[in-house]
Amino acid sequence: MTLVKINPDLQKERDSCTFNTEELTNFFDAGDKYTRKRRELENKIFSIKELKDEIPDEYLSHKEKYENALRKAVLLLKAMKKIGYSRNFEDVHKSSFRESVHTGIFKDGSPFMLQYSMFIPTLQGMADEEQKRRWLNRAMNFEIIGTYAQTELGHGTFIRGLETQAIYNEKTEEFILHSPTLTAYKWWPGGLAHTANYCIVMAQLIIKGKNHGMQPFIVQIRDEETHMPLPGIKVGEIGPKLTFSGVNNGFLGFEHVRIPRENMLMKYNQDGTFKSNPNSKLTYGTMVYVRVTIVFGAATQLARAVTIAVRYSAVRRQSRPKPNEPEPQILDYATQQHKLFIGIATSHAYTLLAYWLWDIYTSFKKDLESGNLDRLPELHSLACVLKVVSSKDCTRLVEQCRMSCGGHGFMMSSSLPQIYGLATAACTYEGENTVSLVKALDQATKGKPLSPTMAYLGERSVTTKWENSVDGIVKSFQKVSIGKLRAAVSSLKQYERSGLSPEDAWNKSSVQLISAAEAHGRAVVMSVYKSETDKYASTVSAGLKTVLYQLVELYAIYMVLQKMGDMLLYGNLTEADVTVLQRRYEELLELLRPNAVGLVDAFDFRDEVLSSTLGSYDGFAYERLMEEAMKSPLNAEPVNQSFEKYMKPLMKGKL
Amino acid sequence: MTLVKINPDLQKERDSCTFNTEELTNFFDAGDKYTRKRRELENKIFSIKELKDEIPDEYLSHKEKYENALRKAVLLLKAMKKIGYSRNFEDVHKSSFRESVHTGIFKDGSPFMLQYSMFIPTLQGMADEEQKRRWLNRAMNFEIIGTYAQTELGHGTFIRGLETQAIYNEKTEEFILHSPTLTAYKWWPGGLAHTANYCIVMAQLIIKGKNHGMQPFIVQIRDEETHMPLPGIKVGEIGPKLTFSGVNNGFLGFEHVRIPRENMLMKYNQDGTFKSNPNSKLTYGTMVYVRVTIVFGAATQLARAVTIAVRYSAVRRQSRPKPNEPEPQILDYATQQHKLFIGIATSHAYTLLAYWLWDIYTSFKKDLESGNLDRLPELHSLACVLKVVSSKDCTRLVEQCRMSCGGHGFMMSSSLPQIYGLATAACTYEGENTVSLVKALDQATKGKPLSPTMAYLGERSVTTKWENSVDGIVKSFQKVSIGKLRAAVSSLKQYERSGLSPEDAWNKSSVQLISAAEAHGRAVVMSVYKSETDKYASTVSAGLKTVLYQLVELYAIYMVLQKMGDMLLYGNLTEADVTVLQRRYEELLELLRPNAVGLVDAFDFRDEVLSSTLGSYDGFAYERLMEEAMKSPLNAEPVNQSFEKYMKPLMKGKL
């Protein structure tokens, strides 16, 4: 089937768009130069036939999915090498967050993911020079394939609870790695199951019976020639998950495995005292980096989902509210706009926020190098809170996009279920959201009370009147955060006075404390979304500027109406304001309507990256649904073998 | 591996439970007699070896999943027949909603689902006596396998938009079924793809060029001997979905297919005028029935999820808030209780609600038979609204349960992702939620304004003070519903006055109108949950009574805090009340904590029905996670073939 034209319903939308979509695309890419570079790379990679799936992954067995992902991972590496593209791990440019080749090739993750994201960066960050010489280059060249194992079957974010042991034997100058229980088995690392032959293992370092805390060790787990697991290594895969079928997550247990002392990563252990717990220093930087990628990733998954849903809503027609007119595009229904436009705005908000956080982080990196760690706790707590609100909001809105497509959003060929899987995963990994908020609170209370992003918490004059402007709403979000924090702390103190231990009082108030931490995150998001838009909008043409501010205002009002209770309690909102805001919200939906398709086009996802029957650029959703269905191996034969084997005997009463 | 003991952490919980769980189980089953019957059936069916999966479905290919589901569907039918169990379609007892055998055997649906839920009931409801003689018995005996096709690729709930035609040819006394476009293809019906050989098809009846609206036709689509599609029939499967991999959803197109006039279902067309559109009369009954099963189903999926999450939270230990104590069970954290206990309460609420709705429906059926249709619009709108709030709430809470299990909740072996899939499907099928609410509003405004469940809307004295009691909260939910409806209607009128057409004014106010309709649903849920608990609690022992009322109160306060904005605006809630309620909520979490495991045990799901590594009755979550992982075909060989084929050449630089 050749589909060269554009669905007229979609063309009409593009013709009536009032701003230059390319201008917005360039901003997302952090410069037009990078838009060009990205498109060049996409053109090259997506034209490689072997990287396309004849039969979509969803039809394959679990084992075939892994084999297909590995095959493509190797071919992609080869292609990237040929093109001369290399990932620069130490000097990341903003535009790299927009890299979409991997999303386009691996709908459900690649078994080499951890090589890039954890194995190489950990060697760079924690190995000494000699160790880098031994392993880093080999890893960069994929002569060895590694992963990073910390989480255990029975233990997650609570580091001290991890059970894997590395007992030092002074006589042989070796460490003996051991998993004393089933719950000590490493569980989850990507690529660990059947792909990696090396692994960085976090284990409790024990010397002469004394525990020196968690330390990183590099352990060879499979033979380089045969790939067989080495003696004492129990390794395998953990089974299917909600998503990430290509990632090959594995388990790993040790039965008294001996490794040379040179295999403990030494950059922070040069003095031989093992006092400097790497988790408290260097890894902060990595953690912040990972969280920035999560915030950006959340914005990106939401952008994908809303692109699909908006385009589908422009071509889907339903009902007939006016008797003599044709069925309208469902994008014309205010309830549909209500579901979708907030998705566009939220994706903008978190994209701007991720870039802003990245700028803080890069400037902080320089401070760190010169020994200034003052802003570290604040930055860490900020990154935790933003990880939580971005993953939570984007997951909810991705799901809203999926449901806005009705039954067809349930089809895997829409890609919406898979996008939901990727989005929701971020709520769990790198610290389940509640745990992250507790950490953020903890860090925040240890930080200087008036650090820049928390300065507003010290403000006293919270009795000012409500203002319906976006700047007024920014302030009201801060008032809510102050109000909720005060209420939670007052409850905490009351519990303490009533005789509870500090830990029990904290526990009893924790629902409120968590909610206050989240409110702080929302105050930051609202304020940064506005201020970064001010900065960016001053550089663009008038048409785009108007639309960007409409989105900021839509976001602000939507959030006020969503958090109306808090706003009434702590923000001095009144019933009359609610009516005005509701009306303005309805007006904004109407104002944004003509630019909805333009706004999602500006995210500039190629069809390969969207990979969606409902969301393709040409808008031929129904043709593509049928085309994809015809790829089903079940449709290759008119009668399935089950008929003769089971159904016929049943129908003939011969069972 | 034999696991006979109980995890001590779980045993401890059971020992300290303060009420009789069996008493509560009997209530769910609508009587102890039915608990016994259900358990007997489960014992018989779950002991059949061939119905167990050696390799879990998640490892299979899409095609294998269908073949496995069909195999089991046939074997289950055989087993049920042998036992002498028959589904009684015309006289459903409440206890039948608790039937768990199918959930235990088909994690992802059965290809015969529509035979039971739509094909046979439609024949019973719409065929005349002659037609019943021809097809009904054959269907009951599974001599023919049928499904029901209404939705089309391009058309959903808007019936008049459906395109499939049935053109009557007076000369040959035949109907010619035809799909004039791709969007006219039937799309979605379960079992249609490769299973059914008959199908009830809804099509526009056209006689002498005049459209007589949608009518039901029974069409043979496959040969009974060979199962080959008949001439002119285009049939196949639609491809993988978020869930229901066993259901074999299909598409169906007609190329001028001729069927005899006797194949139009005639019960409501005896007079030959085809005026009586079946959708406006009989199908109301079916629609209400289907919605009751959705409400009950939502409660059941939530009960499954919360059983898994509570048991896992009792055996999972994490962090160490008090330095010298062991890591606590995560069930001891208030934040975890906050996520889970509302799930128990909500499942109770919707179970009671489904039973209540069922009682109304059965009494209404008698009215219908005697020709009294007065309560029909109200009942229908009530069923629509309750379908929406139950599917929405339960889906959200199922997901909350999944996330409360951290990373392990992401494992398919936990069954939590699959339960989410089943729960969220209900938000879409039988009318996407927003569409359902619009219908409900529409029906409600046509109904008598003071019909029983809407009587409160006519109350005028909404200025009464806030009361913190559950009965006070019930009233405040009604006040909110009144307040929101008035605000929405006032907005609607304002838009009309500003010159908009009624349709455009409705569209612009629809976000508010929908929200008001939902508030009405919530008022009904709160009020019925309380009144049905009053009724039921008066018959049980004191221990259980206490716990049931704690749950109702928890539910009431949780909902007030969730809908705080509305309560402050329309319910006369004050800041001081919020503080009191928050405190009481924290107290209720603590009061319910010792009975959490008892409460989920009382749902009485067998391990086969939960099918969860994290939620098994014995609580050996980690052992089961490993045991399930070992079933992976990938783990059957230490080195996957991809190593020699792709990885080794890569690592040796030979690519």
pLDDT digits (tens, 9 = 90+) for A499-534: 999 999 999 999 999 999 999 999 999 999 999 999
User: Quick one: tokens of A317?
Assistant: 């027609």
Percent of chain B with pLDDT over 90: 79
Contact list in A for residue B413 (CB cut-off 8 A) is 239-240
Q: Choose from A489, A635, A645 for mutation: most chain B CBs within 10 A.
A: A635
- Alpha-carbon separation of residue B457 from B353, B444, B502 (angstroms): 20, 11, 23
Strands B250-254 and B186-187: antiparallel
pLDDT for position A380 = 81
Summarised one tens digit per residue, pLDDT across range A164-173 is 999 999 999 9
- What's the predicted TM-score (pTM) here? 0.96
φ and ψ at residue B387, rounded to 5 degrees: -60, -45
Catalytic residue among B430, B518, B532, B553: B430
Q: Give yes or no for a contact between A111 and A237, defined as CB atoms under 8 angstroms apart.
A: no
Band of the pLDDT at B435, cuts 50, 70, 90?
A: confident
Q: Give yes or no for a contact between B200 and B147, defined as CB atoms under 8 angstroms apart.
A: yes
Question: What mean pLDDT is predicted for residues B623-647?
Answer: 97
Q: What is the DSSP string of B434-485?
A: HHHHHHHHHHHHHS-TT-GGGGGGG-----PPP--SHHHHHHHHHHHHHHHH
Could you say which of B240, B333, B410 has the minimum Cβ distance to residue A507?
Answer: B333
Report chain A's mean pLDDT, rounded to a whole number: 92
Summarised one tens digit per residue, pLDDT across range A44-94 is 999 999 999 999 999 999 999 999 999 999 999 999 999 988 766 667 788
Listed by number, the residues of chain A in 450-469 with a beta carbon closer than 8 Å to a beta carbon of chain B are none
Choose the weakest-confidence range: A21-30, A439-448, A555-564. Answer: A439-448
Contact list in B for residue A336 (CB cut-off 8 A) is 434
pLDDT for position A502 = 92
Of residues B288 and B113, more confidently modeled? B113
DSSP A633: G
As a whole number of angstroms, the distance between CA A487 and CA A494 comes to 11
Listed by number, the residues of chain B in 60-79 with a beta carbon closer than 8 Å to a beta carbon of chain A are 60-64, 66-67, 70-71, 74-75, 77-78
Catalytic residue among A58, A163, A430, A532: A430
How many A×B Cβ pairs under 8 Å?
385
Q: Which residues contact A310 (CB under 8 A, 6 or more apart)?
A: A331, A340, A344, A596, A597, A599, A600
Residue of A nearest to B564 (CA): A565
As a whole number of angstroms, the distance between CA A81 and CA B206 comes to 64
Report the candidate in A409, A332, A391, A244 with the shortest Cα–Cα distance to residue A597. A332
Q: Which residues contact A383 (CB under 8 A, 6 or more apart)?
A: A287, A288, A291, A292, A357
Question: What mean pLDDT is predicted for residues A280-298?
Answer: 79
User: Quick one: tokens of B315?
Assistant: 């055996």
pLDDT for position B505 = 95
| Cα Rg of chain B (Å, integer) | 27
B422 in the Ramachandran plot: left (φ > 0), alpha (ψ -120 to 50) or beta?
alpha
Band of the pLDDT at A371, cuts 50, 70, 90?
A: confident
Which amino acid is it at A567?
M
Q: Give yes or no for a contact between B434 and A313, defined as CB atoms under 8 angstroms apart.
A: no
pLDDT for position B225 = 97
Could you say which of A161, A590, A634 has the minimum Cβ distance to residue B237?
Answer: A634
The CB density around residue B384, as the number of other CB atoms within 10 Å, is 27
Contact list in B for residue A78 (CB cut-off 8 A) is 650, 655
pLDDT for position A267 = 80
Exposed, middle or buried by CB within 10 Å (0-12, 13-18, 19+), for A173?
exposed
Band of the pLDDT at B278, cuts 50, 70, 90?
A: very low
Percent of chain A with pLDDT over 90: 79
Band of the pLDDT at B333, cuts 50, 70, 90?
A: very high
Question: What mean pLDDT is predicted for residues B392-412?
Answer: 97
pLDDT for position B275 = 53
Q: Taking the alpha carbons of B607, B613, B614, B619 in that order, is the dihedral positive or negative?
A: positive
Report chain B's mean pLDDT, rounded to a whole number: 92
Contact list in B for residue A157 (CB cut-off 8 A) is 318-319
Band of the pLDDT at B465, cuts 50, 70, 90?
A: confident
Helices (H) and strands (E) in chain B, counts: 24, 9
Q: Choose from A585, A647, A652, A655 for mutation: most chain B CBs within 10 A.
A: A647
Percent of chain A with pLDDT over 70: 93
Summarised one tens digit per residue, pLDDT across range A399-445 is 999 999 999 999 999 999 999 999 999 998 877 777 777 776 666 66
User: Quick one: tokens of A448?
Assistant: 């200087």
Exposed, middle or buried by CB within 10 Å (0-12, 13-18, 19+), for A271?
exposed
Place of tokens 């066993």: B246
pLDDT of B622 over the 90 cut: yes
Domains in chain A, CATH or no CATH each: 1-30+278-444+470-637 (1.20.140.10), 113-277 (2.40.110.10)
Q: Which residues of B are annotated as a binding site for FAD?
A: 151, 190
Q: Do A156 and B622 touch (CB under 8 A)?
A: no
Question: Where would I find the beta strands (DSSP E) of B93-144?
Answer: none
Report the candidate in A184, A199, A104 with the shortest Cα–Cα distance to residue A152. A184
Of residues B124 and A403, more confidently modeled? A403
Place of tokens 């130069």: A33
Residue of B nearest to A424 (CA): B403
Q: Choose from A642, A654, A655 for mutation: most chain B CBs within 10 A.
A: A642
pLDDT of B541 over the 50 cut: yes
A467 in the Ramachandran plot: left (φ > 0), alpha (ψ -120 to 50) or beta?
beta
Question: What mean pLDDT is predicted for residues A309-319?
Answer: 97
Q: Which residues contact A402 (CB under 8 A, 6 or more apart)?
A: A305, A309, A409, A410, A414, A416, A417, A419, A420
Could you say which of B226, B412, B567 has the minimum Cβ distance to residue A242?
Answer: B412
Q: Taking the alpha carbons of B572, B573, B574, B580 in that order, is the dihedral positive or negative?
A: positive
Strands B198-207 and B186-187: unpaired
Q: Do A155 and B564 touch (CB under 8 A)?
A: no
Q: Choose from B71, B181, B580, B632 for mutation: most chain A CBs within 10 A.
A: B632
pLDDT of B366 over the 60 cut: yes
- Residue by residue, what is the 3-state secondary structure of A53-110? CCCCHHHCCHHHHHHHHHHHHHHHHHHHHHHCCCCCCCCCCHHHHHCCHHHHHCCCCC
pLDDT of B110 over the 50 cut: yes
A151 is in an annotated binding site: yes
As a whole number of angstroms, the distance between CA A384 and CA A287 comes to 9
Place of tokens 């015309």: B90
Place of tokens 């405190």: B583
Q: Do A507 and B332 touch (CB under 8 A)?
A: yes
B632 touches chain A (CB under 8 A): yes
Band of the pLDDT at A477, cuts 50, 70, 90?
A: very high
The CB density around residue B410, as the number of other CB atoms within 10 Å, is 24
Q: Do A425 and B433 touch (CB under 8 A)?
A: no
pLDDT for position B273 = 61
- Residue by residue, what is the 3-state secondary structure of B372-431? CCCCHHHHHHHHHHHHHHHHHHHHHHHHHHHHHCHHHHHEHHHCHHHHHHHHHHCCCCCC
Could you say which of A151, A242, A336 has the minimum Cβ distance to residue B417?
Answer: A242
Exposed, middle or buried by CB within 10 Å (0-12, 13-18, 19+), for A567?
buried
pLDDT of B378 over the 90 cut: no
pLDDT of A12 over the 90 cut: yes
A325 touches chain B (CB under 8 A): no
Place of tokens 């009351």: A494
pLDDT of A308 over the 90 cut: yes
Could you say which of A182, A407, A648 has the minimum Cβ distance to residue B626?
Answer: A182
Q: Give yes or no for a contact between A533 and A352, defined as CB atoms under 8 angstroms apart.
A: yes
Residue B477 Cα to chain centre, angstroms: 25
Q: How far is A71 from chain B (nearest CA, A)?
A: 6
Choose the weakest-confidence range: A377-386, A623-632, B118-127, B139-148. Answer: A377-386
φ and ψ at residue A4, rounded to 5 degrees: -105, -30
Contact list in A for residue B224 (CB cut-off 8 A) is 651
Q: Do A194 and B151 touch (CB under 8 A)?
A: no
Place of tokens 């379960």: B190
As a whole number of angstroms, the distance between CA A352 and CA A119 comes to 29
Q: Do B411 and A194 touch (CB under 8 A)?
A: no
User: Quick one: tokens of A70?
Assistant: 């590995």
As a whole number of angstroms, the distance between CA B116 and CA A48 comes to 48
pLDDT for position B431 = 75
Active site residue B430: yes
Contact list in A for residue B63 (CB cut-off 8 A) is 59, 632-634, 640
- Residue by residue, what is the 3-state secondary structure of B486-506? HHHHHHHHHHHHCCCCHHHHH
Summarised one tens digit per residue, pLDDT across range B166-189 is 999 999 999 999 999 999 999 999
pLDDT of A279 over the 50 cut: no
Q: Do B335 and A434 touch (CB under 8 A)?
A: yes
pLDDT of A460 over the 70 cut: no
As a whole number of angstroms, the distance between CA A153 and CA B408 comes to 9
Band of the pLDDT at A629, cuts 50, 70, 90?
A: very high
Q: Which residues of B are annotated as a binding site?
A: 151, 190
Q: How far is B241 from chain A (nearest CA, A)?
A: 4
pLDDT of B200 over the 70 cut: yes
Could you say which of B59, B226, B338 has the minimum Cβ distance to residue A61?
Answer: B59
pLDDT for position B1 = 46
Mean pLDDT comparison of A433-447, B37-51, B276-290, highest-scoring range:
B37-51
pLDDT for position A90 = 63
Report the candidate in B313, B481, B294 with the shortest Cα–Cα distance to residue B395. B294
Exposed, middle or buried by CB within 10 Å (0-12, 13-18, 19+), for B507?
buried
